C-alpha cells in the first residue's frame, strides 16, 4: 500500500488566499491541483511537502474564453474541459488532438492544464502544444503578475520558472492569424496578413479571423492512455503558398524547452511543399536528444521526432488552406 | 482533520489524516467496500467513483479533498431493491466474471449514459479505456452498457 508521508492540508478559497497560504508555509508548501502527478509522487515518497495548498475550489481559474485577441485558458481547467471546448476546437484543433491522447477520460476529469505545465514532465503533451502555438504563462505572486512565454517556462525536467510562493493562473494563446498579444507585433502580423490576402481578415468579437492558420498534434504511444514515445505539435500561418510563420513543439524526445526553433526558422518564408515540410522534420529531429527507456531506443525516438513533426506540419498546412 | 463528505446522499463526518486516500476512506472508514482498490497507481480504474458528478480514480484523490463535496459509489447506484439499468445490463449480458473491475466499470457507464443515452460501441470503449478488465475481454461489458442504454430508451426513458 502506497501512503504519502505526513503533511498539513490547507484549502484555498481564492487566488489571494492561495498566495497567502503559500507565503505562510514557504518553500515546504506545494500546490495541489488535480493531484494526478503530485499524489502519485507523494505516494512513492518522491515528493514530501510539509503542506499542501489545495486549489481545486478556485472556480475562478477554471475557464476557456476569448480575451481580446487571445484564447485564455485558466490554470484549473481540467483536461476534459479543454477537450470539450468548442472555442478551442475552432481556433486551435491542436489542443483537441493532444487532449484526446492524454491519459484516459477518467484521469482527464481530474488533471488540469496548470498542473500539467507545472509538473514539467519531459513527456508532457500540453507543454509541446503550448510551445508550438507560442503561448504565454501568466504567473501570480506576492508582487503581482508576470507573463513568461511557454517556450521559456521550463527550466529543466520537472522544473519551471514558477517560484515557491507563486501560482500559475492562466495560459494565453494568441489567436490566429493576426492575433498576437503584443499589440505592435499583432498589428504588423495583421497588416502583413491582410496585404497578402486582400484584407479579408475581419475583426469580430472573437478576435482576428480569417483563413491562413492551422494546427495539429501527432503522438505515438505504446497503448491507449500511455505517455508519449514521441509527439509533435505544429502551428502554421500561410501567406498564400508561403509559410509566413510556423511553430513546432516536441515532447518526450529531449527537445530543449519542448521547442524546435531551428526548424521554425527554416520554414519561415519557405513554400509549403511536401519537401520543405520533410526537411523541417529532419532539422527538428537533428536537434533532439532523446534517451532510451522502456518506451523505445533513442534512434527510434529521433526518427519519430522527425516523422511526427512532418505529419503534424502537413495537417496544419491543410487546415490553414481550409482543406482539413 | 474533521471532514464531512456527502456519500450517496448521506452526510458522513469523520476525523482523518490528510494523507488518507479517498479509496481507503470509503472502504475502511465508511465500510463501503463496493469500491475496489487495485493498482494504486491510477492505471486500472477499479477505484472509480464520482466526485461532484464526475468519474475519478479515488486512489489518486485525498479524502480531505472531498471535504464539503459529493461522492457517489457503486452502493449508490441501485434505487432501494431496484437495480440501476446498468447493473441489470451487467447481470443479463454477463458483464462480469470475477467482478473486480465491475464497480468502476459501472460508475463510468452510468456517467456515460447520463450524458449520451445512445453511445456507439466505440464511444463505450473510449469511456472505459482507462479501466482494465482481466476476465471478460470487454466484449460483454460493452454489450451490458448497450443493453442498459436501449433498456433506458425504450422501457424507462429518463
Ligand atoms: C495514468 C495517467 C496517465 C497520464 N498520461 C498522460 C499523458 O499521456 N500525457 C500527459 O501529458 N500527461 C499525462 N498524465 C498526467 C496528467 O496530465 C496530470 O494530470 C498532469 O500532469 C498534472 O496535472 P494535475 O492537475 O493533476 O497536477 P498536480 O498533480 O496537482 O500538480 C503537479 C505539479 O504542479 C504543481 N502545480 C499544479 N497546479 C499549479 C498551479 N496552478 N500553479 C503552480 N503550481 C502548480 C504542483 O505543485 C505539482 O508540483 C497522466 C497521468 C496519469 C495519472
Ligand atoms: S486502484 Fe485506482 S486506478 Fe487502480
Ligand atoms: S470481471 Fe474480472 S477483472 Fe473484469
- Compute and round to an integer the Cα radius of gyration of chain B: 15
Compute, in angstroms, the gap from residue B130 CA to the centroid of ligand 2: 10
CB of B131 within 6 A of ligand 3: the answer is no
For residues A286-292, give the mean pLDDT. 98
Searching chain B, which residue's CA lies closest to the CA of residue A4? B19
Average pLDDT, chain B: 97
Tell me the backbone φ, ψ of residue A15, rounded to 5 degrees. Answer: -60, -45
Q: Which helix (H) or strand (E) holds A1?
A: none
**Does residue A199 fall inside a structural domain?**
no
Cell of A53: 495548498
Task: Examine the predicted complex and report whether its ipTM is higher than 0.95.
Answer: yes
CB-defined site of ligand 2, < 6 Å: B 37-40, 42-47, 57, 59
Is the distance from CB of A179 to CB of A92 less than 8 angstroms? no
For residues A268-296, give the mean pLDDT. 97
Last residue of a domain, one of A150, A174, A198: A174
Residue A80 with chain B: CB contacts under 8 Å: 54
Instruction: Say whether both B111 and B59 belong to one domain.
Output: no
Instruction: Say whether both A241 and A305 belong to one domain.
Output: yes
**What does the pLDDT read at residue A194?**
53
Compute, in angstroms, the gap from residue B101 CA to the centroid of ligand 3: 5
Residue A4 with chain B: CB contacts under 8 Å: 19
Q: Has residue A53 got a pLDDT over 80?
A: yes
**What does the pLDDT read at residue A212?**
78
Is the Cβ pair A4, B126 closer than 8 Å?
A: no
Residue A12's domain comprises: 8-54
Last residue of a domain, one of B30, B48, B76: B76
- CATH number for the domain harbouring residue A157: 3.30.465.10
Chain A contact present for B42, CB below 8 A: yes
Instruction: Say whether both B133 and B68 belong to one domain.
Output: no
Q: Has residue B91 got a pLDDT over 90?
A: yes
Searching chain A, which residue's CA lies closest to the CA of residue B64? A9
Average pLDDT, chain A: 91
Chain A contact present for B131, CB below 8 A: yes
Last residue of a domain, one of B14, B47, B76: B76
Is the Cβ pair B130, A109 closer than 8 Å?
A: no
| Residue A23, C-beta contacts closer than 8 angstroms, at least 6 positions apart | A142, A165
Instruction: Say whether both B71 and B89 belong to one domain.
Output: no
Instruction: Say whether both B98 and B33 belong to one domain.
Output: no
Instruction: Say whether both A124 and A218 belong to one domain.
Output: no
A210 alpha-carbon distance from chain centroid:
23
Instruction: Say whether both A70 and A26 belong to one domain.
Output: no
**Does residue A181 fall inside a structural domain?**
no
- CATH number for the domain harbouring residue B90: 1.10.150.120
Chain A contact present for B144, CB below 8 A: no
Instruction: Say whether both B121 and B100 belong to one domain.
Output: yes
Percent of chain B whose pLDDT exceeds 90: 96
The residue with greater pLDDT, A267 or A212, is A267
- CATH number for the domain harbouring residue A229: 3.30.390.50
Is the Cβ pair B18, A109 closer than 8 Å?
A: no
**What does the pLDDT read at residue B157?**
59
Predicted TM-score (pTM) of this structure: 0.93
Residue B11's domain comprises: 2-76
Instruction: Say whether both A79 and A138 belong to one domain.
Output: yes
pLDDT in tens, A195-241: 544 444 444 333 343 457 999 999 999 998 999 999 999 999 998 89
B158 alpha-carbon distance from chain centroid:
20
**What does the pLDDT read at residue A181?**
31
Cell of B101: 473491475
**What does the pLDDT read at residue B155?**
81
Indicate which residue's Cα is closest to atom 4 of ligand 3: B133
Q: What is the domain count for chain B?
A: 2
pLDDT in tens, A56-66: 999 999 999 99
Is the Cβ pair A110, B61 closer than 8 Å?
A: yes
Is the distance from CB of A217 to CB of A97 less than 8 angstroms? yes
| Residue written as grid cell 452502493 | B75
Instruction: Say whether both B103 and B50 belong to one domain.
Output: no
**What does the pLDDT read at residue A198?**
45
Compute, in angstroms, the gap from residue A275 CA to the centroid of ligand 2: 46
Instruction: Say whether both A40 and A127 belong to one domain.
Output: no
Instruction: Say whether both B98 and B66 belong to one domain.
Output: no
Percent of chain A whose pLDDT exceeds 90: 83
Preferred mutation among A8, A109, A222 to probe B, highest tally of B CBs within 10 A: A109
Least confident stretch, A174-178, B9-13, B137-141: A174-178
Nearest to B48 by CA among B136, B124, B114, B109: B109
**What does the pLDDT read at residue A68?**
86
pLDDT band of A324, cuts 50, 70, 90: confident
pLDDT band of A70, cuts 50, 70, 90: very high
Is the Cβ pair B127, A39 closer than 8 Å?
A: no
Is the Cβ pair A109, B1 closer than 8 Å?
A: no
Last residue of a domain, one of B45, B76, B107: B76
d(CA A121, CA A108): 16
Searching chain B, which residue's CA lies closest to the CA of residue A103? B130
Is the Cβ pair A3, B19 closer than 8 Å?
A: yes
Compute, in angstroms, the gap from residue B105 CA to the centroid of ligand 3: 10
Chain A contact present for B103, CB below 8 A: no
CB atoms within 10 A of CB A218: 24
Searching chain B, which residue's CA lies closest to the CA of residue A1? B40
- CATH number for the domain harbouring residue B37: 3.10.20.30
Is the distance from CB of A212 to CB of A176 less than 8 angstroms? yes
Amino acid at each position: 500500500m502506497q501512503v504519502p508521508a505526513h503533511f498539513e492540508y490547507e484549502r484555498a478559497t481564492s487566488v489571494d488566499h492561495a498566495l497567502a497560504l503559500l507565503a505562510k508555509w514557504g518553500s515546504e508548501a506545494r500546490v495541489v491541483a488535480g493531484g494526478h502527478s503530485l499524489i502519485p509522487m507523494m505516494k512513492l515518497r518522491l515528493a514530501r511537502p510539509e503542506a499542501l495548498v489545495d486549489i481545486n475550489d478556485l472556480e475562478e481559474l477554471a475557464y476557456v474564453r476569448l480575451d481580446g485577441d487571445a484564447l485564455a485558458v485558466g490554470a484549473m481547467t481540467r483536461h476534459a474541459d479543454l477537450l470539450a471546448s468548442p472555442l478551442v476546437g475552432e481556433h486551435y484543433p491542436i489542443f483537441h488532438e493532444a487532449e484526446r491522447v492524454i491519459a484516459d477520460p477518467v484521469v482527464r476529469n481530474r488533471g488540469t492544464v496548470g498542473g500539467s505545465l507545472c509538473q514539467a514532465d519531459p513527456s508532457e503533451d500540453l507543454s509541446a502544444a503550448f510551445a508550438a502555438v507560442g503561448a504565454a504563462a501568466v504567473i501570480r505572486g506576492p508582487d503581482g503578475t508576470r507573463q513568461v512565454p511557454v517556450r521559456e517556462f521550463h527550466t529543466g525536467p520537472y522544473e519551471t520558472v514558477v517560484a515557491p510562493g507563486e501560482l500559475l493562473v492562466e495560459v494565453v494563446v494568441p489567436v490566429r492569424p493576426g492575433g498576437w498579444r503584443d499589440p505592435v507585433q499583432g498589428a504588423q502580423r495583421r497588416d502583413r496578413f491582410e496585404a497578402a490576402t486582400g484584407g479579408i481578415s475581419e475583426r469580430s468579437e472573437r478576435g482576428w479571423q480569417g483563413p491562413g492558420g492551422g494546427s495539429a498534434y501527432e503522438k505515438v504511444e505504446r497503448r491507449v492512455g500511455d505517455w508519449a514515445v514521441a509527439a509533435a505539435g505544429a502551428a502554421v500561418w500561410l501567406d498564400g503558398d508561403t509559410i509566413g510563420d510556423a511553430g513546432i513543439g516536441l515532447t518526450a524526445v529531449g527537445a530543449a524547452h519542448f521547442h524546435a526553433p531551428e526548424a521554425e526558422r527554416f520554414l519561415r518564408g519557405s513554400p509549403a511543399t511536401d519537401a520543405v515540410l520533410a526537411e523541417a522534420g529532419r532539422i527538428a529531429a537533428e536537434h533532439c536528444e532523446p534517451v532510451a527507456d522502456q518506451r523505445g531506443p533513442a534512434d527510434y525516438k529521433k526518427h519519430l521526432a522527425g516523422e511526427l513533426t512532418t505529419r503534424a506540419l502537413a495537417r496544419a498546412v491543410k487546415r490553414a488552406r481550409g482543406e482539413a | 482533520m474533521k471532514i464531512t463528505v456527502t456519500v450517496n446522499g448521506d452526510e458522513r463526518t469523520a476525523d482523518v489524516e490528510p494523507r488518507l486516500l479517498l479509496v481507503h476512506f470509503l472502504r475502511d472508514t465508511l465500510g463501503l467496500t463496493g469500491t475496489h482498490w487495485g493498482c494504486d497507481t491510477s492505471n486500472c480504474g477499479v477505484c472509480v467513483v464520482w466526485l461532484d458528478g464526475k468519474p475519478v480514480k479515488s486512489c489518486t484523490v485525498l479524502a480531505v479533498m472531498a471535504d464539503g463535496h459529493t461522492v457517489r459509489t457503486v452502493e449508490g447506484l441501485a434505487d432501494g431493491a431496484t437495480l440501476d439499468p446498468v447493473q441489470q445490463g451487467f447481470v443479463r449480458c454477463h458483464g462480469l466474471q470475477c467482478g473486480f473491475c465491475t464497480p468502476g466499470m459501472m460508475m463510468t457507464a452510468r456517467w456515460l449514459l447520463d450524458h449520451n443515452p445512445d453511445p456507439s460501441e466505440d464511444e463505450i470503449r473510449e469511456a472505459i479505456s482507462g479501466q482494465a478488465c482481466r476476465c471478460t475481454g470487454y466484449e460483454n461489458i460493452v454489450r451490458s452498457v448497450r443493453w442498459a442504454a436501449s433498456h433506458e430508451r425504450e422501457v424507462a426513458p429518463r
